[in-house]
Amino acid sequence: MGKRYFGTDGIRGRVGEHPITAEFMLKLGWAVGRVLQTPGFNKVVIGKDTRISGYMFESALEAGLSAAGVNIALLGPMPTPGIAYLTRTLHACAGIVVSASHNPYYDNGIKFFSRDGQKLPDQAEERIEALLEQPLVTAEPDALGKAERIVDAAGRYIEFCKSTIPASTSLAGLKIVVDCAHGATYYVAPSVFNELGATVIPIGVAPDGLNINQDCGSTHPAVLCETVKQHNADLGVALDGDGDRVIMVDHRGEILDGDELLFIIARDRLRAGSRFNAVVGTLMTNLGLEMALRALGLELRRARVGDRYVMEQLLAENLLLGGEGSGHIICLDRTSTGDGIVSALQVLSAMLRSEKSLHDLKAGMSKYPQTLINVSVTGRVDLERAPIQEAVRAAESQLGDHGRVLLRPSGTEPVVRVMVEGADAGAVERHARELAAVVRDTLSV
């Protein structure tokens, strides 16, 4: 069954445009409450990031859940992975995140966690959508849900983050710049690193409801790079608006993306004695990570683009580590979802164990040059047509074992993404341009 509202990461859009309206959120809260409550599990937790529309949607969801006869625990501003954690520890039947992640303030969205702190299965989302088409029926007055505010939510999550590295770990002596993107981690993240002993220079920690992700955070790291160099810091940590992504910056101001961080964590796990044979990436994961993992005796398994699909493959194959270049890293041996703060702590722990700087740690992996071209298309996209396949085979033959080609239709735009990777930057760019031209010419006929 196709879904009308749910995408790969919940429901998202521009505030005030259907379905991101107060009216829809009221009905959504009711439908979620009706579908997900079970005997003994009659509470839903709600957390949000710092965008101004969060107040409106939090209240609307609360009203809908109450009408469904479900109790509500309000967490206030809280990172997405913190909401997943508290959903589990508060024994809730579901967790709701009001956030549009790395999008600007004028967007918002809703994500859900099941009671085990993982994303909802497709069947649950389909049942919710089916109920949205039914009239809202309010529970009897004596069965309406009650709301409470969890006043120590941030403190609980801070302690959890600290527990994901050995208790003997101290960050004393490290100077760390932490960019919170004026988002949900603005209080939690500096507190975690500070309580572990680091000297913390916080930036992006003055949310006003409108400045979330604005020229800061994991999607705009330029200010972080400059701040690290300006303060002679050991490294920088950049989180996105809801705290489930992280990138890092070494003492030279050089960026480490999710692929490089995933490599550092995987290698450290092996050295610490963890037993696993593969790491999950996506179709867009840099070939350099695949080669570096192969040198460690590990395979790279590629899932579809999106952390949802990385998680599905991790669970299906009983693996521990996965992630995307965007910085969405999942350490299932530490938590149940992607967590920017926890991932950063795993990298810092690797630094301390190896007694190497972040710059030196990344030396074990070399990213391959990659060129991505978006080709605008109209109508049906058939990438199996002979001219396209012949061009792909020719490029792959010339790139050999140290290169790859990926063509895929976008899920959100009328474009075909043409990606080429290889050891030689000039050859990569040439092949990408040639392939893009073939795709454009073939699909326009």
Give catalytic residue positions. Answer: 101
Residue 270, class by beta-carbon neighbours within 10 Å (0-12 exposed, 13-18 middle, 19+ buried)?
Answer: middle
The SS3 call for residue 138 is: coil
Q: Measure the N-to-C terminal CA separation of the chain; round to a whole number of Å.
A: 32
Q: Is residue 336 within 8 Å of residue 293, measured between CB atoms?
A: no
The residue among 112, 117, 85 whose CA lies nearest residue 5 is 112
Beta strands (DSSP E) in 240-369 are 246-250, 255-256, 278-282, 299-303, 321-323, 329-331
The SS3 call for residue 70 is: coil
Q: Is residue 237 within 8 Å of residue 177, measured between CB atoms?
A: yes
Q: How far is it, in rounded angstroms, from Cα 422 to Cα 403? A: 4
Residues β-bridged to residue 246? 239
Helix, strand, coil proportions of the chain in percent (round to 5)? 40, 20, 40
What are 402's two structure tokens? 């140290």
Tallying the residues shown for the chain, one arrives at 445
